Homo-oligomer: A and B are copies of this chain.
Amino acid sequence: MVGEQVDRRLAAILAADVAGYSRLMGADETGTFGALKAHRSHAIDPAIASHEGRIVKTTGDGILVEFSSAIHAIACAIDIQKAMTERNRDVPANRRIDFRIGINIGDVIIDSDDVFGDGVNIAVRLEGLAEPGGIYLSRAVHEQVAAKVAATFTEVGVRNLKNIDIPVQVFRVSAHSEGPQGLALPPLIGHR
């Protein structure tokens, strides 16, 4: 039998975590925890839901999300970063929670609702490379979305990622700068 017995499917994997989470927690544990929780429930989770993502798991500051479409994954990431820009507008720089996001496409292994494989690992490594507030993609994602999403893609370069055999061509995406769109800002952070 060519192939494998495991359950696989093509998915866009989005990995996000908070830049400088340990420092933020060290400076103000309760405040950081509360702010992160509010960001999750008012910005992150609604963006994921509206783009039909499935939250695979969360860690203290991180989240792993599966999408059936790479275009939905990118749109979700852009909505999250736009919302966070708004939410951080009046927050002092040293207390700001900024997410780094990495997105990859993979023919991932599915087991008991968890996802495994290089496709997942590459997304996590891309997230680790991204600057705070940034969104990094592999070439596989770029190829699927570049002509179909209204955003700016910039090549970062070819990178060797830890524990990944083949170098990955990395791209950065930034939303067009017309201001927040698509994600209704929650009442929590007020009106403009």
Contacts and interface: CB of A to CB of B under 8 A. Distances in A.
A1 B145 CA distance: 15
A191 interface: no
Interface string A131-153: 00000000010011101111100
Interface in A22-55: 51
Nearest to A173: B2
Contacts of A70: 10, 107
Nearest to A165: B147
Interface stretch (A72-80, A84-92, A93-101): A72-80
A8 B78 contact: no
B181 A1 contact: yes
A161 interface: no
Interface string A154-192: 000000000001000000000100000110000000000
Contacts of A124: none
Nearest to A151: B2
Interface in A1-18: 1-4, 8-12
Given A72-B8, A107-B70, A143 B140 contact: yes
A133 to B, nearest CB: 16
B2 A79 contact: yes
A69 B9 CA distance: 4
Given A140-B143, A143-B140, A144-B10, A4 B71 contact: yes
A2 B74 contact: yes
6 contacts: A2-B79, A2-B151, A3-B149, A4-B148, A8-B69, A105-B105
